[in-house]
Amino acid sequence: MSGADQSAGGGTTISFQNVHAQQINTAGRDMIVSTGAVGGWQDAQQQLTALRGGLDAFGLPPAARRTVEQTLDQAEAESWSAHPDKARFAQHIESVTGLLRSTGVLVTAGAEAVAPLHALATWLGPLGATAARMLASLG
């Protein structure tokens, strides 16, 4: 944030510089800035949905696509279980990341594939380290 000024109407005007966000929504006087960060299981489920939504565009061979879909199904089932296990979830994310990397999708699909995986790996912390290293090796 770069500063706040009192406006003539009595409100406060706040200006931001170098804002990096995945999505910015405004409604009236309210602003919601989404960084794409994962803060809990609900956010993790949204990242899985985003990743699944890009599968058609990824151009995966049929066998690889089936494997990715099955692994995403397992990750999703874990996220919805009564007592989700982050370590088990992390294994699924690592598997998907490895498969997408080996098929070249992480390079060709760009942010559509990398952003959700990166958000999940970051949220998983040490459990997501292997997936994070695979993503970091792309650059």
pLDDT higher than threshold 80 for residue 85: yes
Q: What is the rounded average pLDDT of the residues 30-42?
A: 64
Say whether both 29 and 73 belong to one domain: no
Say whether both 112 and 63 belong to one domain: yes
Structural domain that includes position 130: 41-136
Q: What is the pLDDT of residue 111?
A: 87
Say whether both 85 and 123 belong to one domain: yes
Say whether both 10 and 78 belong to one domain: no
Say whether both 60 and 112 belong to one domain: yes
The reported pTM is 0.73
Length of the chain: 139
Q: What is the pLDDT of residue 28?
A: 56
Say whether both 106 and 55 belong to one domain: yes
Say whether both 46 and 106 belong to one domain: yes
Q: What is the pLDDT of residue 17?
A: 55
Task: Return the amino acid letter for 3.
Answer: G
Say whether both 25 and 72 belong to one domain: no
Contact yes or no for 33/19 (Cβ under 8 A): yes
CA 35 to chain centroid, in Å, comes to: 9
Contact yes or no for 116/100 (Cβ under 8 A): no
State the pLDDT confidence band at 137, using cuts at 50, 70 and 90.
Answer: confident
Say whether both 7 and 73 belong to one domain: no
pLDDT higher than threshold 90 for residue 38: no
pLDDT higher than threshold 70 for residue 37: no
pLDDT higher than threshold 70 for residue 105: yes
- State how many domains the chain has: 2
